[in-house]
């Protein structure tokens, strides 16, 4: 009977233990079932953001300028990879990163099963090493991300700009509502300006994942949304010409703007020195970045729209127009140029030391006589001169679809009073400004715009890089609507005279812009040589062609390049020649 007693003690113990197990099972599987069922569904279904395809950027002829190429990024699932510290050292070595950085990244993950990006744009060789040792790298994944590349060989970094991971401050900007950490947005240039057009809309997919976060299969639960690809941009830019311009200005500081005068489209906007936009498409090396921002030549700046310079003699066109319109000048009246003008005890030189002799209005423009314009300035007066300059768009931005455009500086009486005091400024200052020196500062784009205005006799368009956007899904093209403008103060007759004078600059004996002369096309233009305290003069040339039915306006600027006629004019001629030759081949091909 003692054995029986002991037997029952065992029975009791086992019954008790099994009862506990059964109760807990019932608790989990019957009473708390809903909670755990929800849990298990959340466990295995993960919503994944499907990044949209960013739009491609084409030139006006459909040549691909900027498009996506695959790059590889490496991520880690913290739960899996955090088990073994030695793994971090390994991965850090392969990715050439700091171990602590990687550990920090993993610690900042949202959850143990959410992959966290360790490195973007990983080299293919590193990828292979990770793939080879896959078993030693639990929880390490890689995926494909688009990055930008530039297949046409057109750099135009100031135009295209670049893309990058959204920053904290950018996340707070309105219009970026749908974005989240880690998303890629346009940071500069067209990528930034037209970011929302290019970007597209992210979609959501639902994946069934296993415990390692690996996708087992796509789920079709009816709640997913497909990503909407970004729109493509077709630029007014001519890739071939742009490339040619970039080659022309290689090793120079400066650039060229070529505008289509019929709609304001920017055919060429080349600013040198520049940088290869491709270096921004992956992970930017700190050294490369430092080099860029510390470069004294400032390659990050678009000289054509962001930097201002004294325009030199090209600006005489403003005073000439003002004088014509105000009847302050008699076309036949001649002024003798001895090479200088004395004002009080100061001497104002003509660029030609021996003087031009007796010159009339047309001659003065053709040969760019400073003395003539010194004398003209007081007759027009600062107020009229400033008013015309403003009418031509100086002192304000052109409104081009690029960021950080500079408005330059257009002095008027108010400005002079303010800077120098009511009686602090002199006629001497006006002399300087008459020939585009002194306080006058312009952007090359503004000068190209002036050429466009004169070419069109007052009608002009807000310069724009974009020509049209294209939606691949709806197959719809939305053309850019150019903003038409016109000058208010200048009559057609005055334009005729100025145009004729500009024609003579290029086409007549003694003209300063002879170097831009073309055999088949009548080019009109004006040179400028802007003295500056920082060294050699800046060389300018603005012009348009063909004379009778203008198509393009050009502005060439070479920083510290020397004389406008000798340095800028030939470059402009080359640019125009390239434009018309290409046009001929195009029309021939059509």
Partner 1 sequence: MLKDIRRNRVDVVIIVCVLIFAASSLLAVFSATFATESVIWNSTFSRQVLWIIMGLFIGAIITFIPPAWIASSAYKLYIILIILLFLTYFMGSGVGSRRWLSILGLNIQVSEFMKPVLVVVLARFLAKDYRTPDRPDVLFAVSMLVFLPFILVLQQPDLGTSLVYLVVLLPVFYWRGLSPFVIFVLCSPMITFFASFNFWTFFIVILLISAILYLSRRGRVFFTVVFLFNIAIGIIAPIAWNSLHVYQKQRILTFLGLSSDPQGVGYQIIQSKVAIGSGGLFGKGVLQGTQTQLRFLPAQHTDFIFSVIAEELGFIGAILLLAVFMIFLVRGIYIASTTKDQFTGLLTIGLVTVFAFQIVVNIGMTVGIMPVTGIPLPFISYGGSSMLTCMIMAGLIANTSLHRYKLY
Query: Which residues here bind partner 1, judged by CB under 8 A?
Result: 2-4, 6-7, 9-11, 13-15, 17-18, 20-22, 24-26, 28-30, 32-33, 35-37, 39-41, 43-44, 78-79, 82, 112, 208-212, 216
Determine the Cα–Cα distance for residues 444 and 266; give it in Å rounded to an integer: 13
H/E run at residue 142: strand 140-149
Tokens matching residue 354: 């021996």
Closest to 366 measured CA to CA, from 97, 565, 544, 112: 565
Would the CA dihedral through 216, 221, 223, 229 be positive or negative?
positive
Number of helical (H) and strand (E) elements in the chain, helices listed first: 21, 23
Complex with partner 1: residue 112 or 153, whichever CB lies closer: 112
Question: Would strands 459-461 and 466-471 be described as parallel, antiparallel, or unpaired?
Answer: unpaired
Residue closer to partner 1, measured from CB, 208 or 439:
208
Contacts 24+ apart (CB under 8 A), 582-585: 582/238, 582/240, 582/241, 583/551
Q: Helix, strand or coil for residue 473?
A: coil
SS (H, E, C) 376-422: HHHHHCHHHHHHHHHHCCCCCCCCCCCCCCCCCECCCHHHHHHHHCC
Instruction: State in angstroms the smallest separation of the CB of 308 from partner 1.
Output: 59
**H/E run at residue 208:** strand 203-209
Judge residue 460's burial from the number of C-beta atoms within 10 Å of its C-beta, 0-12 exposed, 13-18 middle, 19 or more buried. Answer: buried
HSE-up (13 A, CA, CB side) for residue 579: 29
Choose between 33 and 290: whose C-beta lies nearer to partner 1: 33
Q: Minimum CB separation from partner 1 for residue 15, in Å? A: 8
Chain-centroid distance, C-alpha 462: 17
- Find out whether 507 and 523 touch, Cβ atoms under 8 Å: yes
Is 230 in a helix, a strand, or coil?
coil
Of residues 15 and 338, the one with the C-beta less far from partner 1: 15
Nearer to partner 1, 12 or 336 (CB): 12
Task: Report, in this order, helix, strand and coil percent for the chain, each rounded to 5.
Answer: 40, 25, 35
Question: In whole angstroms, what is the distance from residue 199 CA to residue 184 CA?
Answer: 9
Smallest distance from partner 1 to CB 19, Å: 10
**Residue 3 CB, nearest approach to partner 1 (Å):** 5
- Residue with smaller CB distance to partner 1, 78 or 528: 78
Least distance to partner 1, CB of residue 13, Å: 8
CB nearer partner 1, residue 39 or residue 290 = 39
Quote the least distance from Cβ 35 to partner 1, whole Å: 7
Please state the closest distance from residue 12 (CB atom) to partner 1, in A.
11
CB of 141 to partner 1, least distance (A): 16
Q: Which is nearer to partner 1, 86 or 125 (CB)?
A: 86
- Return the closest-CA partner of residue 221 out of 46, 13, 36: 46
> What's the min distance (Å) between Cβ of 18 and partner 1?
5
C-alpha dist (Å) from residue 564 to 239, 422, 515, 573:
26, 35, 10, 12
* CA–CA distance, 226 with 228 (Å, rounded to integer): 6
**Whole-angstrom distance, CA of residue 320 vs CA of residue 376:** 8
End-to-end alpha-carbon separation of the chain, Å? 115
CB of 110 to partner 1, least distance (A): 13
Minimum distance of partner 1 from residue 16's CB (angstroms): 10
Least distance from C-beta 94 to partner 1, angstroms? 24
Closest CA to 557 of 352, 268, 336: 268
Work out how close the CB of 207 gets to partner 1 at its nearest, in angstroms, rounded to a whole number.
11
Q: Which residues contact 186 (CB under 8 A, 6 or more apart)?
A: 161, 162, 163, 192, 193, 194, 195, 198, 199
> Which residue lies nearer to partner 1 by CB, 174 or 217?
217
Nearer to partner 1, 139 or 186 (CB): 139
Question: Which CB atom, from 62 or from 112, has the smaller least distance to partner 1?
Answer: 112
Q: How many of the other CB atoms lie within 10 Å of CB of 333?
A: 8
């Amino acid at each position: 009977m003692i054995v029986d007693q002991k037997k029952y003690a065992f029975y009791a113990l086992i019954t008790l233990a099994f009862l506990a197990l059964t109760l807990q099972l019932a608790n989990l599987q019957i009473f708390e079932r809903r909670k755990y069922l929800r849990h298990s569904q959340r466990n295995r279904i993960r919503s994944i953001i499907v990044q949209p395809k960013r739009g491609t950027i084409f030139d006006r002829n459909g040549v691909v300028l900027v498009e996506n190429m695959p790059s590889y990024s490496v991520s880690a699932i913290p739960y899996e990879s955090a088990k073994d510290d030695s793994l971090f050292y390994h991965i850090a070595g392969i990715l050439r990163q700091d171990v602590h950085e990687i550990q920090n990244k993993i610690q900042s993950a949202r959850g143990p099963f959410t992959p966290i990006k360790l490195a973007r744009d990983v080299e293919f060789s590193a990828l292979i090493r990770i793939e080879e040792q896959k078993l030693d790298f639990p929880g390490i994944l890689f995926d494909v991300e688009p990055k930008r590349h530039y297949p046409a060989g057109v750099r135009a970094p100031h135009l295209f700009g670049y893309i990058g991971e959204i920053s904290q401050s950018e996340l707070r900007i309105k219009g970026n509502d749908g974005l989240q950490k880690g998303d890629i947005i346009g940071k500069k240039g067209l990528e930034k300006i037209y970011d929302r057009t290019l970007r597209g809309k992210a979609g959501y997919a639902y994946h069934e994942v296993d415990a390692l976060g690996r996708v087992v299969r796509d789920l079709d639960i009816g709640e997913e949304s497909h990503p909407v690809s970004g729109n493509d941009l077709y630029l007014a830019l001519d890739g071939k010409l742009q490339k040619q311009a970039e080659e022309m200005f290689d090793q120079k500081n400066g650039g060229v703007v070529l505008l289509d005068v019929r709609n304001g489209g920017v055919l060429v906007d080349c600013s040198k020195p520049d940088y290869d936009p491709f270096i921004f498409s992956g992970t930017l090396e700190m050294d490369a970045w430092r080099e860029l921002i510390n470069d004294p030549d400032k390659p990050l700046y678009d000289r054509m729209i962001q930097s201002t310079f004294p325009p030199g003699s090209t600006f005489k066109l403003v005073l000439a127009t003002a004088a014509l319109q105000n009847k302050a000048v008699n076309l036949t009246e001649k002024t003798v140029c001895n090479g200088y003008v004395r004002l009080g005890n100061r001497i104002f030189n003509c660029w030609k030391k021996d003087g031009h002799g007796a010159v009339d209005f047309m001659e003065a423009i053709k040969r760019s006589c400073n003395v003539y314009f010194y004398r003209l300035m007081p007759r027009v007066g600062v107020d009229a001169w400033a008013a015309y300059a403003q009418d031509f768009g100086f002192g304000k931005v052109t409104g081009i679809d690029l960021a950080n455009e500079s408005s330059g500086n257009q002095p008027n009486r108010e400005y002079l009073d303010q800077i120098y005091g009511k009686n602090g400024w002199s006629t001497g200052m006006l002399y300087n400004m008459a020939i585009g020196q002194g306080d006058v500062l312009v952007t090359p784009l503004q000068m190209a715009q002036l050429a466009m205005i004169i070419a069109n006799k007052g009608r002009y368009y807000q310069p724009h890089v974009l020509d049209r956007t294209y939606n691949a899904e709806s197959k719809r093209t939305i053309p850019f609507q150019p903003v038409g403008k016109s000058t208010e103060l200048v009559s057609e007759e005055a334009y005729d005279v100025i145009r004729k004078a500009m024609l003579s600059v290029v086409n007549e004996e003694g003209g300063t812009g002879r170097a831009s002369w073309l055999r088949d096309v009548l080019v009109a233009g004006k040179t400028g040589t802007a003295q500056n305290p920082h060294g050699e003069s800046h060389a300018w040339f603005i012009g348009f062609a063909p004379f009778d039915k203008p198509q393009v306006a050009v502005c060439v600027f070479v920083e510290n390049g020397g004389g406008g006629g000798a340095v800028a004019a030939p470059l402009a001629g080359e640019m125009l020649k390239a434009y018309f030759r290409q046009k001929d081949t195009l029309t021939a091909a059509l």
